[in-house]
């Protein structure tokens, strides 16, 4: 079973090299890892025996118990039980939120197939997130995936997504559309994440949480909820400090989230959500070359440390949603606003951006006996005041190179409909977007006005059919997405670094088809989700660097790519004392055309960098008495880190252990929930993320060795 986790490549020479590497790799794997890898097979063998022993009369479908609650990521038009496309919902309990550090998003999202989160150990860049390969190219933040938090888009109109306003520890529910979903959200919807920090209940409660541990990490958090008649309120505040595993990687941030929910009457409700983050000093260690890793994995890139590279930022956002029901349907309207300021000194430039963005959306949903339909409109604006300076290091600026106001306007109309029949159903949607980029050059470098504008349009259809069978839900779906270059990518012109927009790059567009099956057997507490997909992406946006540009990323459209993959997810619970989950992803993503440029040439058939072909995630939870012991594992195949496929990030396996008590009553009003987390239990040496196509071979972002964190939560 283990040897099938790494498949040999097509070239004969590489086959021999990889077979030798695989043998060495397996020989070095200790016994506990082998046992853990075999555990899913042992459990599934046991399940198959149980299944064969079941009588037809006792079989009950878990599918029938899947939630019919409408998924917000689908604009409340679909549910997990009926959606004819790949969708996953993860709901965390209060103890899950309070009983682990939760300082990084990857620790709470590992059970979702098709979603891969890399913790760069670099808060200046954020985590690298991809869904079925979309997002693979990102240099910082998130690209190609539309993200919302508490009904407020973290993805601005140009497609940029910055998730640092989110406190991962407070995410209660995570919804994921795995695949092209521009018919729902428009630009940068190669997949969708909908994050909710709103509590399940607003009943009166108060809690405090403190933890600390490796690499000078300490955190404090307080939260509380209360209800006043029809109104519920929730507030959470947290502080996080991390000295960092690597040199020059410290980070601190204060975050605040709040909610108000007002049930006017049975037909009307108002909700208000807000968030704030202040991160005054985050250092940027850069990525390392292979030789630098061998010398000292904890060092920072010399040019980043010498330049005091890093960033400081502050962001606040507020959104208001009104829901109202009438005889002709249900209206939902949202208005939101975001303010962000950023100072970002880097070796090649000192960057300042002040951003104001906001928007509104309105949807009418009508549901009758045979068909449900929705129609609506979205409008959004993004205004960035950007200033770039030549940078000499130690916060000393030289000549200003860019001073321009960048404005992005997005308008969209959409419609969606689905049938409501008993077994066979059809669901489809259509969305039309227009996105206008404008730049107003304030610098007039050399007396030349480099103001400009670009307009992109897209029509995004999707359609799916589903069939409810005795074993679950089978579906086939066709979806589309598009992704414009962001303002940052447009302004980084390799032929001109003094303002304006790069006229030579266009949006990338994707079409995908998938077939899947999800369901389960409740008598065995077994659920499963299987999906196979093919996605074709044309005008693929890829990054590159030049000797003149140093660490700056430039972008080009590089032909087309094909994404073929399979996702398998299983979850099994045995009585109330054990739960096992596992998901496996096979991802074969290739360039479909030979690309020749002045900087690099890579042939048809090369693999997309940054994505392993094989990835297995598994979690085992033991619940003896009032304790919970969790052991998680991530096993990855090796993968390329550049378009030319000349450099590789080695395969690795890593284990994490979490221990907690579900609550010790100190008195009638106070209970304490202690917890302990050991990351990288086996002290493996590996790189948790990479910098794609980095100049000078500086591809690698190393992960820490074994790290221990401990803390407790007080519930009042």
Residue 383 within a domain? yes
CA atoms within 13 A on the CB side of 509: 9
Q: pLDDT higher for 76 or 168?
A: 168
The stretch 361-382 carries a mean pLDDT of 92
Residue 105 within a domain? yes
pLDDT per residue as tens digits for the range 610-641: 999 999 999 999 999 999 999 999 999 999 99
Distance CA 276, CA 278 (A): 7
On the question of pLDDT at 86 being above 70, the answer is yes
pLDDT per residue as tens digits for the range 155-173: 999 999 999 999 999 999 9
Residue 4 within a domain? no
Residue 420 within a domain? yes
pLDDT per residue as tens digits for the range 186-199: 999 999 999 999 99
Domain with 657 in it: what CATH number?
2.40.170.20
Residue 12 within a domain? no
On the question of pLDDT at 259 being above 60, the answer is yes
Give the C-alpha distances (Å, rounded to integers) separating 635 from 486, 554, 616, 650, 684. 33, 32, 5, 11, 12
Residue 442 within a domain? yes
Number of domains in the chain: 1
Structure tokens at 391: 């940078």
Structure tokens at 19: 């077979």
Sign of CA dihedral 520, 526, 529, 530: negative
Percent of the chain with pLDDT over 70: 87
Q: 44-81 burial by CB neighbour count: b if 16+ within 10 A, else e? A: eeebeeeeeeeeeeeeebbbeebeeebbbbbbbbbbbb
For the ranges 82-91, 135-144, 166-175, 664-673, which has the lowest average pLDDT? 135-144
User: Which of 361, 358, 359, 367 has its CA nearest to residue 332?
Assistant: 361
Residue 43 within a domain? no
pTM: 0.89
The stretch 132-154 carries a mean pLDDT of 91
- Confirm if 328 and 311 have CB atoms less than 8 A apart: no
Distance CA 298, CA 116 (A): 24
Q: How far is CA 10 from the centre of its chain?
A: 31
pLDDT per residue as tens digits for the range 211-230: 999 999 999 999 999 999 99
* Domain assignment of residue 129, given as a range: 54-715
For the chain, give the mean pLDDT.
86
Residue 504 within a domain? yes
For residue 34, report the phi and psi dihedrals to the nearest 5 degrees: -60, -45
User: Which of 438, 441, 347 has its CA nearest to residue 401?
Assistant: 441
What pLDDT is stored for residue 446 in this prediction? 75
């Amino acid at each position: 079973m283990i040897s099938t986790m790494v498949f040999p490549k097509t070239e004969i020479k590489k086959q021999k090299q990889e077979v030798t590497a695989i043998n060495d790799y397996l020989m070095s794997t200790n016994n506990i890892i082998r046992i853990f890898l075999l555990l899913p097979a042992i459990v599934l063998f046991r399940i198959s025996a149980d299944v064969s022993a079941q009588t037809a009369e006792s079989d009950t479908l878990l599918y029938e118990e899947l939630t019919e609650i409408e998924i917000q990521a689908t604009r409340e038009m679909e549910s997990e039980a009926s959606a004819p496309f790949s969708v996953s919902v993860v709901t965390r309990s209060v103890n899950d939120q309070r009983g682990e550090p939760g300082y990084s998003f990857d620790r709470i999202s590992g059970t979702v197939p098709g979603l891969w989160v890399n913790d760069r150990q670099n808060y200046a860049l954020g985590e690298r997130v991809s869904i079925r390969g979309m997002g693979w190219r990102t240099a910082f933040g998130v690209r190609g995936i539309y993200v919302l938090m508490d009904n407020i888009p973290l993805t601005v109109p140009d497609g940029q997504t910055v998730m640092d306003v989110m406190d991962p520890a407070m995410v209660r529910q995570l919804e994921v559309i795995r695949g092209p979903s521009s018919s729902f959200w428009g630009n940068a919807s190669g997949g969708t994440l909908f994050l909710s920090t709103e509590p399940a209940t607003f009943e009166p409660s108060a809690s405090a949480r403190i933890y600390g541990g490796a690499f000078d990490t300490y955190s404090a958090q307080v939260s509380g909820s209360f209800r006043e008649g029809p109104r519920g309120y929730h507030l959470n505040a947290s502080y996080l400090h991390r000295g960092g595993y690597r040199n020059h990687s410290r980070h601190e941030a204060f975050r605040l989230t709040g909610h108000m929910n007002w049930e006017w009457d049975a037909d009307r409700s108002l909700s208000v959500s807000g968030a704030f983050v202040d991160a005054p000093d985050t250092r940027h260690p850069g990525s390392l070359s292979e030789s630098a890793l061998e010398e000292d994995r904890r060092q920072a890139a010399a040019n980043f440390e010498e330049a005091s590279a890093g960033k400081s930022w502050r962001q606040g956002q507020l959104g208001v949603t009104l829901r109202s029901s009438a005889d002709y349907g249900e209206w939902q309207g949202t208005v939101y606003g975001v303010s962000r300021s950023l100072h970002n000194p880097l070796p090649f430039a000192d960057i300042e951006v002040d951003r104001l963005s906001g928007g509104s959306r309105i949807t009418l949903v009508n549901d009758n006996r045979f068909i449900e339909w929705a129609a609506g409109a979205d409008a959004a604006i993004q205004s960035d005041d950007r200033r770039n300076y030549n940078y000499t290091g130690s916060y000393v600026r030289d000549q200003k190179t860019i001073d321009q106001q960048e404005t992005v306007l997005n308008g969209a109309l959409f419609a969606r409909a689905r049938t409501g029949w008993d077994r066979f159903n059809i669901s489809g949607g259509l969305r039309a977007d227009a996105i206008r980029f404008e730049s107003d050059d304030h610098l007039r470098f050399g007396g030349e006005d480099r103001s400009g504008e670009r307009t992109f349009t897209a029509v995004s259809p999707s359609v799916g059919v589903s069939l409810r069978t005795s074993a679950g839900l089978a579906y086939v779906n066709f979806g589309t997405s598009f992704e414009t270059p962001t303002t940052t990518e447009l302004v980084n012109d390799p032929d001109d670094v003094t303002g304006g927009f790069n006229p030579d790059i266009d949006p990338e567009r994707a079409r995908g088809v998938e077939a899947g099956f999800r369901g389960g057997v409740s008598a065995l507490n077994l659920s499963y989700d299987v999906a196979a997909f093919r996605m074709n992406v044309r005008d693929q946006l890829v990054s590159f660097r030049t000797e003149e540009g140093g660490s700056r990323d430039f972008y080009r459209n590089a032909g087309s790519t094909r994404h073929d993959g399979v996702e398998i997810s299983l979850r099994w619970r045995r009585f109330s004392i054990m739960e096992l989950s596992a998901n496996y992803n096979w991802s074969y993503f290739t360039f479909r055309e030979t690309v020749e440029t002045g900087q690099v040439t890579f042939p048809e058939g090369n693999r997309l960098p940054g994505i392993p072909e094989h990835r297995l995630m598994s979690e085992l939870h033991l619940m003896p008495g009032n304790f919970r012991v969790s052991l998680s594992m991530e096993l990855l195949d090796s993968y390329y880190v550049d378009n030319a496929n000349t450099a590789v990030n080695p395969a690795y396996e890593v284990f994490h252990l979490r221990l907690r008590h579900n609550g010790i009553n100190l008195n009638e009003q106070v209970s304490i929930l202690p917890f302990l987390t050991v990351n990288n239990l086996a002290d493996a040496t590996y790189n948790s993320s990479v910098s794609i196509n980095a100049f000078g071979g500086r591809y690698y972002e190393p992960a820490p060795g074994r790290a221990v964190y401990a803390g407790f939560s007080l519930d009042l």
